Structure 1
Amino acid sequence: MPLFYKELVPISSQEHGTWRTRQLQGAQFVRTEHAVPITIDEFAVAQRFYPIIFATGDNPVPLALMGLNEGVNTFFGEDGMMVQDAYLPAYIRRYPYMLARLRPDTDELSLCVDPTANAIGAFDEGEPLFDGDQPSTAVKAILEFCEQFEQAGQRTAAFVAELKELDLLIDGEVTIQTDENSQPFIYRGFQMVAEEKLRDLRGDTLRKMMKSGLLPLVHAHLFSLSLMREIFGRQVAQGAVPEATSA
């Protein structure tokens, strides 16, 4: 299942005709997640608050780091509320809904929900899911948001594919030395754009990257990496720093 989601069921007028949707109170589901997927549409604003890295593996996705260690999220409290004003990634705002392919033999996507989130049900409060047998205004808004997210995801996949084609992604490593520890904190297990490879690109390639919008996105990613030490400082303040070792 995708990050955060425990189950997925399609929303239908037959099953949920009289049900309502209500807003979640807090985001406890993200409290112990240190990295959340983001799309390239969010780079410009997200890079002001989070280091943007790329996951490892053959199909890397951009991630906003909310903590440097697994299980540590420096932006959310135990109650699931943000402890500091920051941009909230669309991946978090989309939960518990998403568009999913119900059958492997078709590309058709259906609006689904994670029922464990308790966001829809036979509630007295909230917005109705359906107006007769047609989606309500609330469901249409949810569907539109999910569709926009899917489209942004496709643009993001194309962006990452171009980075791979240009062979710009390398294994990342960040070393943080503190006065309190003789051993440095070393963070690995992610990918980043290699600045040396970027500088060595030919002029026509760089012009093409600028025209396509790729180059500004790469710069946003690189600028954001300076926030690694700020996130580390937040972990120190929250007492969430492990022993100095590779992480």
Structure 2
Amino acid sequence: MASAPQQPQLPLFYKDLMPLNSRDHQGWKSKNFDDASFLASTHAIPITVDEFIDTQRNFPIVFTSGENSLPIALMGLNEGVNTFVSDDGKIEDNIYLPAYARRYPFMLAKLREDSDELSLCFDPSAGVVGEFDEGSALFDGDQPSETTKNILDFCQKFEESGQRTKAFIDEINKLDILMDGEIGITTQENPNNPFNYRGFRMVDENKLRELPTDTLENLHKNGMLMLIHAHLFSLNLMRVIFARQVRQGKGPQEVTQAAQG
């Protein structure tokens, strides 16, 4: 069972990719993760535009820096800190878990450079796909089982949502309304020395207000204005996430000390 050709850099969470097929994986099963420990040291998770409304209830939505900006949900403000996963790997109840995390360890990937065809693959290192006694069968004979069909459907919808996300990013880039973001958060203990967070992008509200009326009307009609407002409203949660870090003993000072220790 050979792994798929390795990409220069695999996506977040994935340590390896193996194409799923009935020849090599006959009798294999998929089971649920016992916990969310694979998320524990991840502070930012990619999201799609279809998730903005659900995401903004729990997490700040910002955009990555660089040429190919992506929307991400912040589950922590510091590298390696996820305030929604406990020390024993349990994820907090009643929060929206982004689809990117829910599809793991599966994903659609190109196996050949000369083809745009996508194949259903999985990360064998995740430990939830294999020759188990319990779990959901991935094949019924040499045909995909209902479980595999559902996984494939979910991954296909995720890819389609990714295309809509790219179109959204292309549009706001064309409008030139993104700017480098910065937020300073002070504490009662140290009110004159704020913790400054940079390295992300956000919509510039001044540029948004200055857009021509017909442009704003078009953004409203195609649903993009609602997404932009969801992003902007969610930024108020930056301070909420910071407070969660502090309560959990994962504030920036503690994080720095842990890294040095």
Q: TM-score normalized by structure 2? A: 0.92
1:89 corresponds to 2:67: no
* Cα separation, 2, equivalents of 1:101 and 1:78: 36
2:240 corresponds to which residue? 230
Residue type of the alignment partner of 1:166: L
* Offset, 1:80: 2.1
Q: What is aligned with 2:49?
A: 40
Cα deviation code 1:177-206 (max 9, x no counterpart) = 112013111000000000000000000110
Q: Any stretches of 5+ residues in structure 1 without a counterpart?
A: none
Cα root mean square deviation, aligned: 1.1
1:123 corresponding residue in structure 2: 132
Deviation by residue 1:190-223 (Cα, 9 ceiling, x = unmatched):
0000000000000011011111111000000000
Equivalences for residues 206-221 of structure 1 within 5 A: 206-221=216-231
Secondary structure of the 2:225 match is helix
CA distance change for structure 1 residues 209 and 96 in 2, over 3 Å: closer, same or farther?
Answer: same
CA distance in structure 2 between the partners assigned to 1:18 and 1:85 by the alignment: 34
Q: Which residue of 1 aligns with 2:14?
A: 5
Q: Give the drift of 1:84.
A: 4.6
1:214 partner letter: M
Match of 2:151 in 1: 142
* Distance in 1, Cα, partners of 2:62 & 2:89: 24
Structure 2: runs of 5 or more not aligned: 1-9, 255-261
Corresponding residue for 1:200?
A: 210
Stretches of 4+ moved more than 4 A in 1? none
**Letter of the structure 2 residue corresponding to residue 226 of structure 1:** N
Q: Distance in 2 between matches of 1:208 and 1:242?
A: 42
1:26 equivalenced with 2:35 (yes/no): yes
Q: 2:88 and 2:94 mapped to 1: Cα distance?
A: 15
Q: Does 1:110 align with 2:119?
A: yes
| Displacement of 1:94 | 0.5
1:99 aligns with 2:108: yes
Alpha-carbon distance, 1:243 to partner: 3.1
